[in-house]
Every structure is written in structure tokens, then in C-alpha cells.
Amino acid sequence: MNLELFLLLASALFCVGLFGALTQQSIVMLMMGLELMLGGVILAAASAWRYIAPAAAEGQVLVVVAITAMALEMATGFAVVTALFRSREIDMTDMAAELKE
């Protein structure tokens, strides 16, 4: 185990999540991709704490921030999907692109 291995795992998780977030049409599936990306971020922060500056607690604080971001992302995402579905009966990203036009 060393820093590089952990960071490689974290970037693998991040890229798998990114792939999901880019390809999935359903908003809920898209959010699952985001979760996976944030999982990678959490792991990267934790390994940076362990292998670069374990004496400073800031690395751990970063993990706490990332976990909170995950929870906020989930809650807001579902609220937005619910609001979208209520107003327009849509649950796919392609249909929610009206602002683009």
C-alpha cells in the first residue's frame, strides 16, 4: 500500500463515476455517477492525509467536507427531480434542457 495505489484507485472510481454521469439519461442514475465520483474524492483526501500530512487534521476535515457535499448533493438532487417531475412530468436530463433553447 502506498499513496500512488490509493490515488490510482480513487481516480479509477472517479472516472467510472464520470462515465456514468455523462452517459446516463435518467437524472437519478446521473446522481449515482456523481456519488461514485465523490467516493473517489473522499478516498483521495483520506490517502493524502495518511501519506502526506498525517499530523495535520486538515486532511480529515476535507473528508468530512466531501461527505457532507455528498449528502447535500443527494438531497438537493432528489428535491430538484421531484420538482421537475411535479411541474413537467420529466425524469430525463435531455427533456430538462429547455433553458438551453
Partner 1 sequence: MNDVAFGLLAALAVVSGVMVFRFDSMARATFSLLTSLLCVGGEMLLLGLDYLGIVTVLMMTIEMAIMAVFMVMFMMNPAGLMPMTMTHNKKGAAVICGIAFVLLAAGVLLAPWPARQGKPPADPTMDLGMSLMGPQMLTMMVLGMALFATIVATVVLATRRGRYDRFGDDLRAPQASDPVRGGVGR
Determine the size of the site formed for partner 1 (CB under 8 A): 71
Determine, following the binding rule CB under 8 A, whether residue 96 of this chain makes contact with partner 1: no
Binding of residue 34 to partner 1 (CB under 8 A): no
CA-CA-CA-CA torsion for 67, 42, 76, 29, nearest 10 degrees?
Answer: -140
Find the binding residues for partner 1 in span 3-22 (CB under 8 A).
Answer: 3-9, 11-20, 22
- Please report whether residue 72 would count as binding partner 1 according to CB under 8 A: yes
Residue list 76-95, contact with partner 1 (CB under 8 A): 76, 78-83, 85-86, 91-92, 94
Closest CA to 63 of 75, 76, 50: 50
Is residue 13 within 8 Å of 40, Cβ to Cβ?
yes
